[in-house]
Chain A
Amino acid sequence: MSNTRTVRRAQAGTTEPTWVKWTLLTIALAFIFLFLVLPLAAVFTEALRKGWGAAFEALKEPDAWSAIRLTLITASIAVPLNLVFGIAAAWSIAKYEFRGKAFLTTLVDLPFSVSPVVAGLIYVLMFGAQGWIGPWLQAHDIKIVFAIPGIVLATIFVTFPFIARELIPLMQAQGTDEEQAAIVLGATGWQTFWYVTLPNIKWGLVYGVILCNARAMGEFGAVSVVSGHIRGQTNTIPLHVEILYNEYQSVAAFAVASLLALLALVTLVIKQVVEWRFEREQKAAAALPPERPMVQAPATA
């Protein structure tokens, strides 16, 4: 019992006086309230300013539907492509040593530091009428810029690093021992990946995919440059929101925007659940006696 008393006395030196604590807490919560809670609440309040009926009216419009469809199509192409890339990049970077690895990792991160507007511009310069292969594309009647392929490409660019950068540190931390054991025991490369690597990285994978998806569905700047803003054809949900807003259809704009805000909330919830489950499995794995194979941990949790 005397032990706990010493601990408590030591802790007194590592905490602030109560008034300092409350002041810091109040300022931090006020900041969060002003900058995060209010903007989120404003989206839904503005959407429902004229009641549920008006909000649903905006969502039932054919232009809104085609925007939703295009956004879903775009995300369903961009996310799987970046998923395959993310796994390949993480496997090569995390499991092997080779020259230029640090440089490659930096290049994978590069799209995050490029302005979305510049990201859109580079595709216009490549595929646009005056671009590199624009004339050839025109001759063959292929439209990329100001059409759906351009939107998909720009979306792939801005969401490029999400999954890879989630997986690389995770796979690096896990090392290669388990995979080597699988190979030595006679598993093929694919079997090793499916039964050893994938169960180990699944939460990182889910985490990367939901963040990638949220950005893919919500991207505005890059898509705005390559879309051409053709109503009902090349408008994604964020672009549709912009058009409605600029036409002073505030309620409609916020009604459509609240779809995206809901997506953001769902993303945050899934993200939190994934974090908790991952932590639990880490703890379960750490609690196992060392001689038991770690691969069993995800199955038991």
Chain B
Amino acid sequence: MSAVNTVTLPLQVGSESGARRAPRRVLPGFKLTLGYTLFYLSVIVLIPLSALIFKTFTLTWDQFVTAVSSPRVVASYRLTFGASLIAASVNAVFGLLVAWVLVRYSFPGKKIIDALVDLPFALPTAVAGISLTALLASNGWIGSILEPYGIQLAFNPNGVVIALIFIGLPFVVRTVQPVLEDAEKELEEAATCLGATRLQTFWHVIFPTIAPALLTGFAMAFARAIGEYGSVIFIAGNMPMISEITPLIIIGKLEQYDYAGATAVAVVLLIISFILLLVINALQAWQRRRSGGTSQ
């Protein structure tokens, strides 16, 4: 509870102007709300997460390395990261396109399409999983069209990528869209007046403005894809070494009562999530600086 003690000197921040000091203190409830926030955060998130870390320390280093680097686990990393990377890249391209179309063009049904973009956030992952499987299986609407050409999209790594594209789609659209809406048309007009073609204007004027948001959306879609479980397991086929994702490895180990092994793999996933969270935070800070700089 050392953080609460800082309450007594909350206004030593230099950037605050002296005149605003007194009013800031007028608002009640700081100790109550911060105290409750820290309490709830600890009970729900921090203490359970530390259980994971402590459990890892009951393993020796050799046990840990063996658990996280067995061939089957390494194959799952390759699939999880590879598929997440491809899916996030596809989302970056098509997400940008969808955001562009939604902001710049008007067409009938635009509002419905705009609302529909959030479907992957609202549709439970298990439903998405069985629905995509039904579409892509060899007797499904899409699967039956592709089967004569020898293209199989379900029950193999292709299915993993498609499920991850579905769940990651809103991230890129929703991060790029507001930036594109705020982008100043005057800059584009200036570029055109100076003789730039439309493509040059896009690459040299529009793209640099939206690049931080695009990268943020990409990183968010990637981070979400790495941890995704529900939508993937139905469509993946879950063959060891071929189409088994890392979260499924954790479940598999748990079902065999290998708690230590499950924990070790979970720690690897958790560390990667932390790193991605920090990257996303840094990207968002960059985006705020960038949008602050261009609008002034």
Residues of B within 8 A of A221 (CB): 125, 228-230, 247
Task: For A28, give the chain B residue with the smallest CB separation.
Answer: B101
**Can you report 17 A-B residue pairs in the complex whose CB atoms are below 8 A from each other?**
A13-B198, A15-B104, A35-B165, A37-B116, A40-B119, A42-B134, A88-B34, A97-B16, A104-B38, A124-B254, A125-B259, A126-B47, A188-B28, A218-B126, A238-B125, A242-B126, A257-B126
CB distance from B235 to the nearest CB of A (A): 11
Is the C-beta of B169 less than 8 angstroms from some C-beta in chain A?
yes
CB distance from B60 to the nearest CB of A (A): 18
Q: Mark B238-262, 1 if CB is under 8 A from A, else 0.
A: 0000000001101100100001001
Return the 9 tightest CB-CB contacts between A and B, nearest first: A218-B124, A115-B227, A13-B192, A220-B230, A221-B229, A189-B28, A264-B122, A117-B247, A92-B33
CB distance from A145 to the nearest CB of B (A): 11
Interface of B toward A, CB cutoff 8 Å: 3, 6-7, 10-11, 13, 16, 23-24, 26-30, 32-34, 36-38, 40-41, 44-49, 51-52, 54-55, 94, 97-98, 100-101, 104-105, 107, 111, 113, 115-128, 130-132, 134-135, 140-142, 165-166, 169, 185, 188-189, 191-193, 198, 201, 223, 226-230, 234, 247-248, 250-251, 254, 259, 262-263, 266, 269-270, 273-274, 276-277, 280-281
- In the complex, besides A37-B116, A85-B36, 5 extra interface pairs with C-beta distance below 8 angstroms are A24-B105, A36-B120, A85-B37, A89-B37, A117-B248
Interface of A toward B, CB cutoff 8 Å: 10-11, 13-17, 20-21, 24-25, 27-29, 31-32, 34-40, 42-43, 46, 81, 84-85, 87-89, 91-93, 95-100, 104, 106-111, 113-118, 121-126, 128, 130-132, 153, 156-157, 160, 176, 179-180, 183-184, 188-189, 192-193, 211, 214, 217-221, 224-225, 237-239, 241-242, 245, 250, 253-254, 257, 260-261, 263-265, 267-269, 271-272
Q: Is the CB of B45 within 8 A of A32?
A: no
Q: Is the CB of B130 within 8 A of A157?
A: no
Q: Is the CB of A131 within 8 A of B127?
A: no
Q: Is the CB of B118 within 8 A of A271?
A: yes
Most buried by A among B16, B121, B141: B121
Name B49's contact: one of A108, A122, A156 (CB within 8 Å): A122
Task: For B48, give the chain A residue with the smallest CB separation.
Answer: A122
Q: Is the CB of B126 within 8 A of A114?
A: no
Residues of A within 8 A of B94 (CB): 27-28, 31
Q: Is the CB of B27 within 8 A of A176?
A: yes
Task: For B251, give the chain A residue with the smallest CB separation.
Answer: A117
Q: Is the CB of B142 within 8 A of A125?
A: no
Known: A107-B45, A125-B259. A117 touches B33 (CB 8 A): no
Q: Is the CB of B124 within 8 A of A42?
A: no
Distance, CA A49 to CA B118, complexed state (A): 27
Q: Is the CB of B119 within 8 A of A268?
A: yes
Q: Is the CB of B6 within 8 A of A99?
A: yes
Distance, CA A126 to CA B117, complexed state (A): 37
